[in-house]
Structure 1
Amino acid sequence: MSLQTLVDQATIPPDSGSASSPFDTDSFNEAVMSTYGRFPLALERGAGCRVWDTQGQEYLDFVAGIATCTLGHAHPVMVEAVTRQIQKLHHVSNLYYIPEQGELAKWLVNHSCADRVFFCNSGAEANEAAIKLARKYAHTVLEIEKPIILTAHASFHGRTLATVTATAQPKYQKYFDPLVPGFHYVNYNDINAVEVAISELDEGDYRVAAILIEPLQGEGGVRPGDVAYFKKLRQICDETGILLIFDEVQVGMGRSGKLWGYEHLGVEPDIFTSAKGLGGGIPIGAMMSKKFCDVFQPGEHASTFGGNPFVCGVALSVCQTLERENILQNVQDRGEQLRSGLRAIAAKYPQHIGEVRGWGLINGLELRANIELTAADVVNAAINEGVLLVPAGPKVVRFVPPLIVTEAEVNTALEAVDRAIATLTA
């Protein structure tokens, strides 16, 4: 079944009884913890880059599960992979060899600078694994009694206690103290701040053991890394033995227009993480490393569901489709088109919109700090125009459509955003 067939089928209105009454948000809120501030939509089906709510209203999806649905919704490759694998074997313990896990790991190793892969269930778990690996390496190889990991202000690395500590944004840490010790924060793209921190923290039993950083900050406002900064980071790590760890959870797996964000920066990390787009919407995470720093031994880290046959079989189909269909070229072309269109919109509203920035199909439209208009305002207005967007902080609207988005769909989204901002600024 082709993607167009799935889109055509999804366009058919639902049965008359299925959309006869509004979605019951009250009963939902009674049963589900309020850990999200939800937009007033209940989505029930999708095809390609489009989704439909429970009332049959169609939207162009430029959120993609927050940079997760690599191939969009109901892609035939994923439908076939899910069906095939669930009929064959969906879960066994990592106490046994899992062929699908081995095949996915080999694909990732062959298409990156990594030598080894550890599989888990999410980006937070992948970053948690990287933190644990860095700490063991610090103790056993660098002989650091109290290792410190540097992370950047405005970063985002996850919601577990260690990764929320690594996330240098107080709004995510509030009420969760005492936080995990062993982290220190520096300004992003500021090499002097890194050098000062390494010097000042080298005292007694304390030493910097690793630097955990995003090649492009996603939740921090879609801020790309500076090439000179990252090359200097690599030089510092080479000279000191400090591990360089990249969080590629949001920017990796082709979203940047290259398979990995580090390819934009001309350097290779020692450890890097992936999740989100790796499974195209199926929950999977991966922590990858060079062989020299793979110091884990059996029993020191594990995941019950990590790397099971089901998720690995589906993720491998996503990876192979990216390569086979040359989707990275589409990411580059549509990314250029999107940024060009957003800059044209920014030029129409110079008092309200500042910078447009990003790589590939992760892009941000920054609102000026001195106006009351917020990213959430734009997102809500865009919903009314039939396009789903997501904030990246209070003043940045993020555009992260599926990597299969078409030229026509980008134009439709741009026209809708233009109308939304015109309404807000009238």
Structure 2
Amino acid sequence: MFDMMDFSMGDSTGDSGSAQPAANGPYIPEASECMRCGMCISTCPTFRLFQIDAETPRQRIRTISKILVEDAPISDEERGHLDNCLQCRACETACPSRMSYGALFDQAKAKLHQTGFPSWLAGLGLRLIEHKRRRRMLLPLVSLYLRSGLQKPLRASGLLAKLNLAVAERLVSEPALGSLAGVYPLAKRARRKGRVALFTGCLAEHFDRATQRSAIKLLNTIGYEVVVPESQVCCGAIHQHNGRSAQALIDKNIETFYALEVEAVIYTASGCGAMLSEYQGEDQETAGWFRRSAQDINEFLLAHWPANLQPAASNLNVAVHEPCSQRNVLKNGRAVHELLRKIPGLNIEALPDNQLCCGAGGSYMLSHPDNAERLRFAKRQAIEACGADVVVSSNFGCTFYLNADQAETALKLVHPLQLLADRV
């Protein structure tokens, strides 16, 4: 796969010129060639936590070089520091040489996975993400548990901790048990502009239903029929970032949406969008079509918003949380601000410290709960101090994690679509 990607560092890596690319391999500079600008270090969330050089992108690149280029074993300590990475990809945007850290990290994790053994819990989680039918069979039990009153005694018993389920249990919320309809047509007298498909994701399909219904309402309002294909599957991001192959999921989504003959594949979660925007498949034509068709809901609404559609006014103070996937991969955070400006009277500000990851990181909140909690605490402090009436975020994973396991009176995050849909 290396020869399919450009990892060239150009001429800006230093003056020694000692590093050479391996055959069909990525170009990874020697430590002595680093520009020492410190930009990647200052943006790395785990460096913010630990303040040691081992928790920096630069040192992780040395470990990745051992794995991919030198084919050398790494120590348990090096593996631990590599696994601590949240895959926020802030280092990519800061690096003057634009090293493709995310792609290198995924390839290194895939190689390590060949000789590793996942925990039973991780294996179960990935299987549930892969198989929609099994996931739907489990969700009624989750709903029953949340309503049964068993949470407090079960937590007190210590059984959840023994089963390594304590963190996951504290994160879970009431799921939507029913499915979305296959097609959401326009009202009879509405002017039809076109037809789009909605990508629902895996967990978001059940735990972010309000956002998806808001997306459907807004798309219908501006003249688009919405198709929600039952055969779509998880985007594959969690598999890929944990060293598993996501290709079967990628191929299934490309096949499913290509057959629909729609103008766009709309996603509401920037975490999914970051993965969808980089899809590669065996058939380059259909994979290319999918990458071009995958569009962020905020950008799509902005591009097709009718001039005569005026949302109801509001005087709310809104803080915009910018997810890492939106900031560092999609790079379209301004679309949220511009879309919310459609609401007259709204006061919109960026949430302070937006560049710092919230700690969710896909499955990171489960695999590294202590690190994730420290980052979440800092993000919650920023939210509490911002003085906003509402905080919005365009990524389901961030809102799910930041809203979980906190007081009912605390400020909750919502998707910006919900604000807009309530006012049209």
TM-score surpassing 0.5? no
Query: If each structure's strand is expressed as a fraction of its own residues, which one has the higher value?
Result: 1
Q: TM-score range by the shorter chain?
A: under 0.3
Higher relative contact order (CA 8 A, sep 6+): 1
TM-score by length of 2: 0.26
Q: Compare the two structures and name the one with the higher helix fraction.
A: 2
